[in-house]
Amino acid sequence: MWNYTDTVLDHFRNPRNVGVVENPDGVGEVGSLACGDALKLTFKLDDEGRIADARFKTFGCASAIASSSALTEMIKGMTLDEAGAVTNQDIADYLGGLPEQKMHCSVMGREALEVAIANYRTGESGKKILEGKVVCTCFGITEEEIRRVVRDNNLTTVEQVTNYSKAGGGCGKCKPDIARIIDSVQAENRQSEAPAAQPHRMTVLQKIRLIEETINREIRPMLKKDGGDLELVDVDGNRVIISFRGMCARCQVAPFTMKDVVEAKLREFVSDELRVEEEKP
Amino acid sequence: MRQVYLDNNATTRVAPEVVEAMLPFFQDLWGNPSSMHGFGGRVARYVDEARGRLADLLHADPSEIVFTSCGTESDNMAVRGAAEAAGPAVRIITTRVEHVAVLSPCRHLKEHGHELTELNVDAEGRLDLDALREAVAGGPAVVSIMWANNETGVVFPLSEIAGIVKAAGGVLHADAVQAVGKLPIDVSRVPVDMLSISGHKLHAPKGIGALYVRRGTKLKPFLLGGHQENGRRGGTENVPYIVGLGRAAELAAHTIDTEMPRVAGLRDRLEEGLLKTCPDTRVNGDRRHRLPNTTNISFQYVEGEAILYHLSDAGIAASSGSACTSGSLEPSHVIRAMGVPFTAAHGSTRFSLSRYTDEADIAYVLEQTPPIIERLRALSPFV
C-alpha cells in the first residue's frame, strides 16, 4: 500500500465538496478515463468576486480524490487571482505531502483550476486543449506541459517528470525527449533558446511519402500496441484524411482525440501546416 | 471486523500442517543434506520425500524435480537455460499475457541476439492456436506459455499447445505457478518439457519454488555452484522450505478433488452476485476456461486503487489491474492485451479464493462491495 498521510486518507474516505455547482461561473475538466484519472471542477463567485462554492467530481485513485477534495477546500474564499497562484506543491502541502509517484494527482488539481479560471475569464471551453507538440503520446502530454512542471517544481530527472505529469509513464519511448526538455529548461534558466530550424519546401509526392513514413514509423506502432490502427485515405493540399480502425475507432473518451495526436506527429515530422481530418467509417 | 482474504493469486496463507512439518528442520534437523555424517544424512531423506510428494502431485518422476528459491527463478532458469542450451540465436515464442517473470527474461534474451515472438490473445484472453502453429512452423523454438493466467485465471489448453510445439520439434516451458494445486496436472499425459511451481501460491511459504524438467531436456544451469539438485542448481538445499513445499503438495493432492469444485461454486456465487448488484460491471476473461478460484471483474467508471482502499477499510483483501496498482501508469499488460476498454480497464478488480474461503466470507463481500462501488461512482465525472 502507498504511504499516504492521515490527511490524504481522511480526504479520500470523507471527500469534501463532491458534486457540480449549479450554474457555475467556471468549469475545468482535465484527464480522461483512458489516462486513469479525471477531474471536473466547478466554482461559483460571490458578489465580491471570491469563490463562494467549489465542487468536484473525480475518477481516480485515493490520492486523486484526496487532491481534488483538498483543492476545493483551499480555494473557497479566494479571489481568482489568489486561486490562480495556487501551485501543485500547495495542494500536496495541504495534504501533508503525497508519495513522489503520486504528485501528478496534485498537478491535475492545479490544471483543472487553471482551466476553470480561464473558462470564467475568457469563455474558453472548460476542457483542456492540447497545444503544441505532443511529447508523450500514451498520455497526451505536450512539451509545454512538461516545461511547466519542470519549471514549477524544479525537476531534474525524467523519473520526476513522470511522477509529476505521467509523461514517459507508458511505453517510455519519449524518455529521451523528456530528458532533452529538462536540459533545455535548465539551459533557458541560463540563457535564451537558439532559433528554430528553417522549414523547407517539398513536392506533393514527397509530402505524401513523408506522411506515410511518419504514420508507419511514429503513429501506427503506438496505435497497434493498444489494438488499433489507422488508414491514410487521402491527401488534399494540407488536408490529410485518415480513418481509424480497431480499438482506436471505438475509443470515445480521450480528452484529446487520437486525431490530435496524429496531427501533432505529422506537423512535427512533415509540415506544421497540415490539418488532419477523420473520415468516419 | 471480519477479515476476508481474497488475494490468493498474490500469495496464500501457509497451511498450519505445513508450518508444523517445517519446524523440526529449524530446531533439530538442521544438518546439510550433502554432508557425510549423521547430521546431514538424517536430513537428506526428508528432502527426497518432499521431492517425491511434489512429483506425485504432477505425476512426474522425483528425479525430474529441481527445487528453486521461487517461481521467478524457475521461470528464468527454464527460459534462459533452454535458450542458452539451444544455441547463440534461438527463436523464442511466448504470449503477451505472461507473468513478467517470463516476459522479462524473454525480452532480455531478445536484446542479446535471440528472436522473440509474443503471441496475442483475443478479447476473452484466449490464445490464437493458429498463430502458435505459424510461429513454431519456422523451425525448433523455445516456447514459454503459461498454464493459467494470474490476473484473469484464464486457462490455456496446454495439451493442445504441447502437441503443436512438440510436433514442430520445440521445447515447451509452462509457467504453472497459478495452476498447480488448483487444476489437476499430469505431465505423463501433457508433454510439457518444463513447468514452474511456486510454493507460496499453494499454501507453502514464500522463498521456495521448483522447476519440473522432463528427463532429456537440454538445459544450462542458471545458478552455478555445487552439485546440488543433480548439478542443475547450485546452492545448499533450503531444507525446511523444501519440506514445507512437499507437505503443501501432499495436502493439495488430497484436497484438490473436493475443495476446488467447492471453491468454484463460491467464486461463481461471488461473481454472479456482484454482476447482479452492481450495474455496469463485466467479467474479464473466458469464463468457461478458468481457474476455479479466480474472477476478474471490472466496475466501469471507477478506479481500482480507490476500490481496493475502501475494500481494505472493510477488511477485504483483493487486487487490481488498474494503473495505480500495476506499478506503472498504465493498466496491467494483461488487461491491455485483451483490449479491455479504458472505461473498464482501470476498474478491474481481482478476487482470488482459496480452500480456506467459506460461504460467510463470500456473503460478507457481497454485502460490502456494492455500496463501495456506488460511493465511488457518485464521485465519478463519467457517471
* Per-residue model confidence as pLDDT tens digits over B67-104: 999 999 999 999 999 999 998 899 999 999 999 999 99
Q: Using the beta-carbon criterion (under 8 Å), do B302 and A59 form an inter-chain contact?
A: yes
Q: Using the beta-carbon criterion (under 8 Å), do A37 and B303 form an inter-chain contact?
A: yes
Percent of chain B residues topping a pLDDT of 70: 99
CA dist., res. A56 & res. A112, Å (int): 10
Superfamily, domain A204-278? Fe-S cluster assembly (FSCA) (3.30.300.130)
Q: For residue B69, give the 3-state DSSP assignment.
A: coil
- What is the reported pLDDT for A19? 96
Return contacts of B7-10, CB within 8 angstroms, 24+ apart.
Answer: B7/B317, B7/B318, B7/B319, B7/B350, B7/B352, B8/B201, B8/B293, B8/B352, B8/B353, B8/B354, B8/B357, B9/B150, B9/B151, B9/B153, B9/B178, B9/B201, B9/B293, B9/B294, B9/B319, B9/B350, B9/B352, B10/B319, B10/B352
A174–chain B nearest CA distance, Å: 14
Q: Delimit the domains of chain B by residue range.
A: 4-12+256-379, 16-252
User: Which residue in chain A is spatially nearest to B122 when comparing CA positions?
Assistant: A227
Average pLDDT estimate for B236-258: 98
Q: Is any Cβ of chain B less than 8 angstroms from the Cβ of A29? A: yes
Q: What is the pLDDT of residues B25-36, one digit of tens each?
A: 999 999 999 999
- What is the reported pLDDT for A28? 96
Average pLDDT estimate for B260-282: 97
Q: Quick one: cell of A254?
A: 480521450
Q: What is the pLDDT of residues B177-200, one digit of tens each?
A: 999 999 999 999 999 999 999 999
Q: What are the chain B neighbours of A138 within 8 Å (beta carbons)?
A: 330
- Closest Cβ–Cβ partner in B331, B339, B380 for A57: B380
Chain B positions touching chain A (beta carbons under 8 Å) = 301-306, 309, 312-313, 322-324, 328-331, 336, 339, 341-343, 346, 378-382
Average pLDDT estimate for B267-283: 97
Q: Delimit the domains of chain A by residue range.
A: 6-122, 134-190, 204-278
- What is the reported pLDDT for A266? 87
- What is the reported pLDDT for B266? 98
Beta-bridge partners for B172 = B143
- Is A171 one of the catalytic residues? no
A263–chain B nearest CA distance, Å: 22
Three-point CA angle B289, B292, B293, nearest 5°: 130
Q: What is the pLDDT of residues B335-379, one digit of tens each?
A: 999 999 888 899 999 999 999 999 999 999 999 999 999 999 999
- What is the reported pLDDT for B343? 81
A36–chain B nearest CA distance, Å: 6
* Complete DSSP assignment for chain A: -----HHHHHHHHS-SSBS--SS-SEEEEEEETTTTEEEEEEEEE-TTSBEEEEEEEEES-HHHHHHHHHHHHHHTT-BHHHHHT--HHHHHHHTT---GGGHHHHHHHHHHHHHHHHHHHH---SB----S-EEETTTTEEHHHHHHHHHHHT--SHHHHHHHH-TTSSS-TTHHHHHHHHHHHHHHHHSPPPPPPPP----HHHHHHHHHHHIIIIIHHHHHHTTEEEEEEEEETTEEEEEEEEHHHH----SS-HHHHHHHHHHHHT-TT-EEEEPP-
* Eight-state DSSP code of residue B66: E
Q: For residue B195, give the 3-state DSSP assignment.
A: strand
What single-letter amino acid sits at A164? Answer: Y
A101–chain B nearest CA distance, Å: 9
- Closest Cβ–Cβ partner in A32, A36, A40 for B322: A36
Q: What is the pLDDT of residues B99-110, one digit of tens each?
A: 999 999 999 999
B221–chain A nearest CA distance, Å: 33
- Closest Cβ–Cβ partner in B303, B312, B339 for A59: B303
Does domain A134-190 fall under CATH 3.30.70.890? My reply is no
The CATH code of the domain at B16-252 is 3.40.640.10
Q: What are the chain A neighbours of B317 within 8 Å (beta carbons)?
A: none
Q: Using the beta-carbon criterion (under 8 Å), do A170 and B379 form an inter-chain contact?
A: no
User: Which residue in chain A is spatially nearest to B336 when comparing CA positions?
Assistant: A226
- What is the reported pLDDT for A191? 63
Beta-bridge partners for A232 = A242
- Closest Cβ–Cβ partner in A9, A58, A227 for B381: A58
Beta-carbon pairs below 8 A across chains A and B: 81
CA dist., res. B38 & res. B33, Å (int): 9
Please give the span between the terminal C-alpha atoms of chain A, in angstroms, as a whole number.
Answer: 45
Q: Using the beta-carbon criterion (under 8 Å), do A226 and B336 form an inter-chain contact?
A: yes
* Eight-state DSSP code of residue B15: P
Q: Which of A2, A61, A171, A224 would you mutate first to test chain B, the one with the most B CBs within 10 A? A: A61
What single-letter amino acid sits at B75? Answer: D
When the pLDDT of each residue in chain B is averaged and rounded to a whole number, the result is 95
- What is the reported pLDDT for B326? 61
CA dist., res. A177 & res. A218, Å (int): 14
Among candidate residues B70, B106, B278, B324, the one labeled active-site is B324
pLDDT, tens digit only, all 281 positions of chain A: 899 999 999 999 999 999 999 999 999 999 888 888 899 999 999 999 999 999 999 999 999 999 999 999 999 999 999 999 999 999 999 999 999 999 999 999 999 999 999 999 998 888 877 778 889 988 889 999 999 999 989 999 999 999 999 999 888 899 999 999 999 998 887 765 445 554 567 788 888 888 888 888 888 877 777 777 888 888 888 888 888 876 655 555 554 567 778 888 888 888 888 888 888 65
Q: Using the beta-carbon criterion (under 8 Å), do B379 and A18 form an inter-chain contact?
A: yes
- What is the reported pLDDT for B321? 85
* Eight-state DSSP code of residue B13: P
- What is the reported pLDDT for A252? 52
Selecting from 3.40.640.10, 3.90.1010.10, 1.10.1200.10, 3.40.50.720, what CATH number does the domain A6-122 have?
Answer: 3.90.1010.10
ipTM of the complex: 0.90
Q: Using the beta-carbon criterion (under 8 Å), do A33 and B301 form an inter-chain contact?
A: yes
The CATH architecture that domain B4-12+256-379 belongs to is Alpha-Beta Complex (3.90)
